[in-house]
Structure 1
């Protein structure tokens, strides 16, 4: 049991998060709704918070800009091998630019625990008119 605890603190067998969205294309001002799917690891872990940033990246210039952030504070314990779902909602700004070859949008999600390394997930979306 102690070995599994230390392994999860290193990221081996720790809980994982996945943002699941019903579609990949959105318009400016639209509400993006989906779910966070949280799968427990080999031991019980206490969630500290879930952070989800909408990032605009420019691959050519290797630059990132945070468009907005959603944070959920929690004291929930994810039991080993347990699967949980949490609602996700994010209102896109009305003045957000559309996607282009040099402008990529993605949600960067992080599951942060009281102990152990964080779990991360990236989900690309496309902004269209």
Structure 2
């Protein structure tokens, strides 16, 4: 398999070069990423205390009626460094597992890794390379079911979580693994639901064999004052891979919720 190569050169004292090579740049959530750090010593002996890979994405937030973006670290992976002699070449293998909470890659939710090294008395060397992260089969089957009902995927982006997403993730993850930022899917409604539903949104937690869904229905209600008002209704759904492989089962459950 060809290597997806990224180079990173230290610009501080000593000039150590670190080249992190990945076996691939395309992964599915939950995959194990394998690679190697290729280190070339400089003119003097150098101690690399630690090598760190940050898994990053972009989150969106609203401020003063405008949308802004910021870098978010999804997870970090630390690896033991080494003493590098002058001119020495070292190869250090590494591996880390992608969390199921990492967003899948879109133009508004890119995913990349930043490699950095802890070297005493030197500027922290780092570089970035983008990954293609795909949804597991469980997510893809659910997204197909929503599309089959006539809903058009309008937007996918990463946003700050809230108490609802925290409560949702508490059922499937330990507290220290609950993400502060979540990827949200948003659909425009087909004609038969217009006037009843403005849009639907979903946060997905997908593993290889199961899918948990936090579904938001932005519905329109007619009040006593005869004006339409919007109100969000929330539903938590759970599907096994076997259920997701039966599209009619998923579509019936979604349809029953949307008709309420």
Residue matched to 2:70: 63
The alignment of Structure 1 onto Structure 2 pairs a total of residues equal to 120
Deviation at 1:111, TM superposition (A): 1.3
Deviant stretches of 4+, over 4 Å:
none
Q: 1:121 aligns with which of 109, 127, 150?
A: 127
Partners of 1:22 and 1:73 in 2: how far apart? 20
Contact 2:32–2:97 under 8 Å retained in 1? yes
Superposition RMSD in Å: 2.2
Contact 1:19–1:123 under 8 Å retained in 2? no
- Which stretch shifts more, 31-40 or 60-69? 60-69
Contact 1:43–1:80 under 8 Å retained in 2? yes
SS at match of 2:106: coil
- Is 2:114 the counterpart of 1:108? yes
Deviation at 1:118, TM superposition (A): 2.3
User: Alpha-carbon deviations, 1:71-125, whole Å to 9, x = none?
Assistant: 1244x31112211111111111123221001111111111111232222122211
- Which stretch shifts more, 106-115 or 23-32? 106-115
Residue matched to 1:93: 99
- Is 2:44 the counterpart of 1:24? no
User: Alpha-carbon deviations, 1:2-25, whole Å to 9, x = none?
Assistant: xxxxxxx96265112122111110
**TM-score normalised by the chain length of structure 2:** 0.42
> Larger RCO: Structure 1 or Structure 2 (Cα < 8 Å, ≥ 6 residues apart)?
1
Partners of 1:28 and 1:82 in 2: how far apart? 36
Work out which of the two has the higher radius of gyration on C-alpha atoms and give 1 or 2. Answer: 2
- Which stretch shifts more, 53-62 or 87-96? 53-62
